[in-house]
Amino acid sequence: MKKLIHLHKRTPIITAMASLLLLSVSCRKLISIPPNPPNQIPQSQVFSDSSDIQAAVAGVYANFKVSTASPSWVSGNITISAGMSADELRSTSAYDQLAPQFYQDAVHIDNSTIGSMWKQAYSDIYQMNVCLEGIESTTAISDSLKGLLTGQLKVIRALYYFNMVNLWGGVPVVTSSNYAANAILPQATVDSVYYLIQTDLAAARSLLPATYAYSDRARPNLYTAQALSAKVFLYRQLWDSAALMAGQVINSGFYNLEPDPNNVFLDGSNEAIWQLPGNGASYQTAEGYTFNIAVWNPTPGYVLNNSLLSVFETGDLRRADWVDSSNAYGTLYYYPYKYKNKNASAATQEDYMILRLGEQYLILAEAQAHLQQLGNAVTNLNVVRTRAGLTGSTAATQTDVLNAIMHERQTELFCEWGNRWLDLKRTGTIDAVMGAEKPGIWQSYAALYPIPQTEIQNNPFLVQNPGY
């Protein structure tokens, strides 16, 4: 991916967050820039040409920053931060001075990682909103292309708000490019944030085709919207809707579980529902670069907790294929190994996974268990277990089936998008699990991250989360 052009001044017109991330649809070819001063390009001009419209939309995908050495908030930071907050990860690096705050569940209000995550989220959402407004008003593209691009953007915006509401609770809901008005918005309720998420996804499901726009799976299609909807409905305990959405994805015929866990995160994975290309000059994915050891240093920067390692059953292929070890100066460390390539020169190409079929089977199983469809729930649970090389579950009661599903989520989805951290919160088990994992440290308020103090200073209508 080519280097993006950044502007430094926010204005009511399209800025670096929105107008001049002018990449081609494939994110590989830089589009020529209009001759105007870079902070004075009217929205009407940028959205008056089809190629520039698609280039501006491509810039939204570039914000994931998959192929950089440093994780961004939607390309590794959630996995790392939430993994340390939960019972998955700890840091060994003296360079990550903020890691103890996450591991000890004592995140400060001036934590710069939290601050940058919040800022990037809203900068990116601003860019999405500018694109949505520009696409709606332009006459430069067909109605069908308008619908396609709008549906894709609404899936991305829903993903952002889903992660935000689960990390911070109620957050400001920004749906326009009116920067002055957005700067003083108060937090919306959790229900209101989810209302926007569900509205965006419903619109996306009505607009997106079943086929992908390009040969890869980087741009959301109908099943991407359904897969994210299934996850949202699961979190909202709308079991019928979660089962319906996950079932439609599974039964679509577009996807299959990769028989070999080693192939799940490769480019072209049959399991991928939404997967961004990791084609940087030096690195394929930020997580692959961050988690894997360097030739010159056998100590992993982040290692797996013993409590996670202990829950894998004997013979679990995920333990063998998705966990690696390193003997560093007499100490044996285990670290995440889902992404195996530290550098771009690796023989296999890995892409960054956002949504995949394995999770959909577990969503469907959990929804069915809550609906007392226990036989179907166990059947879908066992699809995932079989791929992992395990025998079928013998769980029979609703409680046992739900416990078996949560166990499987812990081993299938570890160190992916903070799933474990969010699962503990949504199921109401976080106090029991974290109290046992970090006795004398855990406090219930830490289930939500603090609103960055600088944001509260800049916006008097924001209120700090309780406990901070």
**pLDDT digits over 275-319, tens only?**
999 988 889 999 999 999 998 999 999 999 999 999 999 999 999
Retrieve residue 277's tokens: 């290309």
Q: Is residue 272 part of a domain?
A: no
pLDDT class of 42 with cuts at 50, 70, 90: low
Share of the chain above pLDDT 70, in %: 90
Q: 407-420: per-residue pLDDT in tens?
A: 999 999 999 999 99
Q: Considering the chain, what is the average pLDDT of its residues? A: 90
Mean pLDDT to the nearest integer, 111-137: 96
Over the range 258-277, which residues count as b (16 or more CB within 10 Å of their CB) and which as e?
beebbebbbbebebbbbbbb
| Cα 57 to Cα 22: distance, rounded to the nearest angstrom | 8
The predicted structure's pLDDT at residue 29? 28
3, pLDDT greater than 70: no
Q: Is residue 9 part of a domain?
A: yes
Q: Which amino acid is at 385?
A: R
Note whether 318 and 390 are within 8 A (CB). Answer: no
161, pLDDT greater than 90: yes
CB atoms under 10 Å from CB of 81, counted, come to 27
Those residues with Cβ within 8 angstroms of residue 330's Cβ, 6 or more apart along the chain or in another chain: none
Beta bridge partners of 116: none
Residue 356: phi and psi, rounded to 5, are -145, 165
Q: Is residue 424 part of a domain?
A: no
DSSP codes, 34-53: PSS-TT-B-HHHHTTSHHHH
Element (H, E) at 352: strand 352-356
> Is 262 in a helix, a strand, or coil?
helix
pLDDT class of 261 with cuts at 50, 70, 90: very high
The predicted structure's pLDDT at residue 43? 66
Number of domains in the chain: 1
Q: What is the largest CA-CA distance in the chain?
A: 68
Q: 425-439: per-residue pLDDT in tens?
A: 999 999 999 999 999
Q: Is residue 306 part of a domain?
A: no
pLDDT class of 11 with cuts at 50, 70, 90: very low
Mean pLDDT to the nearest integer, 156-167: 98
Mean pLDDT to the nearest integer, 355-363: 98
Q: Is residue 168 part of a domain?
A: yes
More confident residue, 45 or 218: 218
Q: Is the pTM of this model over 0.85?
A: yes
More confident residue, 14 or 208: 208
pLDDT class of 70 with cuts at 50, 70, 90: confident
Mean pLDDT to the nearest integer, 202-229: 97
DSSP codes, 119-158: HHHHHHHHHHHHHHHHHHH-SSS-HHHHHHHHHHHHHHHH
pLDDT class of 371 with cuts at 50, 70, 90: very high
Q: Is 305 buried (19+), middle (13-18) or exposed (0-12) by CB count in 10 A? A: middle
| Cα 440 to Cα 86: distance, rounded to the nearest angstrom | 15
Count, residues in the chain: 468
113, pLDDT greater than 90: yes
Note whether 258 and 383 are within 8 A (CB). Answer: no
Q: Is residue 99 part of a domain?
A: no
Element (H, E) at 423: helix 419-426
CB-side exposure of 257: number of CA atoms within 13 Å?
20
The predicted structure's pLDDT at residue 19? 38
Q: CATH number of the domain that 50 lies in?
A: 1.25.40.890
Q: Which residue, among 175, 181, 146, 182, has the nearest Cα to 47 in the 3D structure?
A: 146
More confident residue, 68 or 171: 171
Helix residue ranges, H only, 208-253: 222-235, 239-250
Domain that holds residue 187: 1-62+109-206
Q: Is 371 buried (19+), middle (13-18) or exposed (0-12) by CB count in 10 A? A: middle
The predicted structure's pLDDT at residue 227? 99
The predicted structure's pLDDT at residue 366? 99
| Cα 433 to Cα 423: distance, rounded to the nearest angstrom | 11
**Cα–chain center distance at 19:** 24
| Cα 157 to Cα 121: distance, rounded to the nearest angstrom | 10
Those residues with Cβ within 8 angstroms of residue 432's Cβ, 6 or more apart along the chain or in another chain: none
Among the listed ranges 7-21, 115-129, 450-464, which one has the minimum average pLDDT value? 7-21
Q: Is residue 383 part of a domain?
A: no
Q: 79-106: per-residue pLDDT in tens?
A: 999 999 999 999 998 778 899 999 999 9
Note whether 79 and 416 are within 8 A (CB). Answer: yes
Q: Is residue 381 part of a domain?
A: no
pLDDT class of 44 with cuts at 50, 70, 90: low
Q: 236-250: per-residue pLDDT in tens?
A: 999 999 999 999 999
184, pLDDT greater than 70: yes
25, pLDDT greater than 80: no
Retrieve residue 337's tokens: 């190994």
